[in-house]
Amino acid sequence: MGTRDEAGFEEFVAARSDDLLRTAVLLTRDRGHAEDLLQTALVKAYRRWNKISSADPYPYVRRILVTSAASWRRLRTTQEIVSLPAHDVPGPDANDGFADREQMADALATLPPRMRAVLVLRYAEDLSEADTADLLGCSVSTVKSQTQRGLARLREHLGTPRLTAGTAAVLEEC
């Protein structure tokens, strides 16, 4: 890799690694796994840096990130961290949506990796169905069906909602 490409890689990492890390956290839920996943994707991209023809390498690196996340091996690279309830200390100004987000994160974590990736790309990254299909290397109809099945499973895990005056939707028994 020449000097100019090294500089380009530096610039890319400086400019986009925060975005990629955010996506990685949504895909893995765990910060440690996410950093490992991000570095894995960056190493793969670095190897092919001279061959990336696009002016913007971000979609290419994001594709690597998302497809790498689906590998079961990634889940074990930091070894056997026992899965236990997340215990967070809420501060006095704890966000009102904290519990909702945790609940949603719990539900997302139950989905298969590719189904989770579809939902993250569609709803966090705002990709179209076509762009999501292109990124994941599948058909648009697959993205549609994965989206519908993913939402259905989220609904199942979140329980049946109710509406209470003065609040957003909260949950109640199925």
Partner 1 sequence: MTLSDTDLEARLRRDLRARADDVPPAPRDLAELTRQRHRSLRRRESGLVAAAVAAVLVFVGVPVVASTLAADDDRGQTARPTAPGDPASPDEGIYATPTRGGLADEDAWLAGVARLPWRDEDGTSPRDPGMEMPEPPRDTRRVAYADDVPSGRVALVVGRSGGEVVHAWFVGPRGADAHEMSVANYPGMFGTDVVGLVDGDPDAETLTLIVVANPGDVVHRPLIPEVDAEGTIVTPEAEPLDLVDGIAVLAVERRWAQSGATLLVQRSRDTSYGVAMSDSRRVGLDRPDIVPADPRGQAAQGAPSAWQVSSVGYLVAQYGLTADEAGPTLLAAGPIGSGRNAQLFGITFPSGATGMWLETFVPTNPDTGVMGVDLPFAPAGTALLDRVFAAQTLGGLVVTAPSGVRADVLDASGAVLESLPLTNGAGTGDLADPQSAASVRILDDTGAVVASTDIFRVD
**Smaller CB separation from partner 1, 52 or 158:** 158
Helix 129-136, helix 58-69: angle, nearest 10: 70
C-beta of 5: minimal distance to partner 1 in Å?
12
The one among 95, 128, 139, 141 contacting partner 1 by CB under 8 A? 95
Cα 31 from chain centre: 11
Stretch of 6-14, 53-61, 62-70, 130-138 lying at the interface with partner 1 (CB under 8 A): 6-14
The answer to whether 120 touches 23, Cβ cutoff 8 Å, is yes
Residue 157 interacts with partner 1 (CB under 8 A)? yes
Q: Is 70 in the site for partner 1 (CB under 8 A)?
A: no
Give the residue, chosen from 5, 39, 112, 137, that forms a contact with partner 1 under the rule CB under 8 A: 39
Question: With respect to partner 1, which residue has the nearer C-beta, 101 or 139?
Answer: 101
- For partner 1, the binding residue among 10, 48, 137, 141 (CB under 8 A) is 10
CA neighbours closer than 13 Å in the CB half-sphere of residue 124: 17
Integer CA distances (angstroms), 47 to 42, 43, 61, 166, in order:
9, 6, 11, 54
Q: How far is the CB of 126 from partner 1 (least distance, A)?
A: 8
If binding is defined by CB under 8 A, does position 31 make contact with partner 1?
yes
157: number of Cβ within 10 Å: 15
The residues that bridge with 162 in the sheet, in sequence order, are 170
Q: Looking only at residues 100 through 129 of this chain, which bind partner 1 when binding is defined by CB under 8 A?
A: 100-107, 109-110, 119-120, 123-124
Place of tokens 């990796």: 113
